[in-house]
Amino acid sequence: MTLYEALNMNLNFSELISLVGAGGKTSTMFRLAQEFKTLGKKVLVTTTTNIAFSETSQADRRILDGLKDLSSLSRIEPGTIVCLGSSMVGDQEKLKGIERELVDKIYQEHLFDYIVVEADGSKRRPIKAPAHYEPVIPRKTTRLIGVIGLDALGRAITEDTVHRPGLFCSLTGKKMGDTIDRKCLTDLILSEDGLFKDVPERSRKYVLFNKADHTDQEQEARMTVQELIQMQAPIHGFIIAATNNRSIYAQGLDTSPE
């Protein structure tokens, strides 16, 4: 199964897809982009924060000047992945993204079939709680994917495991050093200040439980999904996957109305 199938997408409509959370946003962004490319679609990948420049080598073309003149984008060939950023930062190791208003403008002008945006930062931790200024989601986002790395389960809440552990403790009622369990995941997903903080009103919301590399991680995710469904969580779909090895183990879609 592909990710776009797991997202129950209608390929006759263009979409702006944003990713938030932690635990594999960049790999998920490029996997989606590659799937769209194989369908002959014109795809833009970008970020409203920063991403590792080495990751952008997966794009067919990189534009690193912020692109004030959008006219050249209309000449991009179908079946092409374009990565757009504004500049290099951090000793040239990271690509600085573009303003979310520019993402919205590109989408509104129908310059790409699909735009996929990394709209959050996590410093490569498997799980996070957002600060007051995070995430930075384009307002025209049609689908929002909240990513959680299942390799966080069973580990202690520390600076090495959680991005913004103090905020994570506040959301989950835990203390530094406590173990991350399934309740932490449900609390993070359901909190107004958690995984889907500042989601645009019309966006469809999906949870991607990533890094299900072992059977026990997959089972923990399945049980979490069932709990959220029983709680009638306002989520449009759940995906359990290991995006690095291209596996999707389970999905639950359309658990709440559009």
Distances (CA, A) of 56 to 63, 146, 213, 218, 232: 10, 21, 24, 29, 38
Indicate if the pLDDT at residue 65 is higher than 80: no
Collect contacts of 220-223 with beta carbons under 8 A, ≥24 apart: 220/150, 220/153, 220/182, 221/150, 221/250, 222/250, 223/182
Cα 165 from Cα 122, distance rounded (Å): 11
Question: Residue 254: what pLDDT?
Answer: 55
The answer to whether residue 8 is domain-embedded is: no
Question: Residue 258: what pLDDT?
Answer: 41
Question: Do 88 and 112 have their domain in common?
Answer: yes
Q: What is the tens place of the pLDDT at every residue in 218-230?
A: 999 999 999 999 9
Question: Residue 150: what pLDDT?
Answer: 97
Contact 95/47 with Cβ under 8 angstroms?
A: yes
Tally of CB atoms within 10 A around 160: 9
Question: Do 127 and 202 have their domain in common?
Answer: yes
The answer to whether residue 82 is domain-embedded is: yes
Question: Residue 230: what pLDDT?
Answer: 92
Tell me how many domains the chain contains: 2
176 or 255, which is more confident?
176
Q: What is the tens place of the pLDDT at every residue in 91-137?
A: 768 999 999 999 999 999 999 999 999 999 999 999 999 999 999 99
Please identify, among 95, 118, 141, the residue that sits at the C-terminal boundary of a domain: 118
Please identify, among 84, 102, 118, the residue that sits at the C-terminal boundary of a domain: 118
Q: Half-sphere exposure of 165 toward its Cβ, with a 13 Å CA cutoff?
A: 18
Longest dimension (CA), the chain: 53
- Domain extent at residue 74: 24-118
Question: Residue 257: what pLDDT?
Answer: 39
Question: Do 174 and 101 have their domain in common?
Answer: no
Listed residue (95, 146, 152) closest to 119, CA to CA: 146
According to DSSP, the residues that pair with 108 across neighbouring strands are none
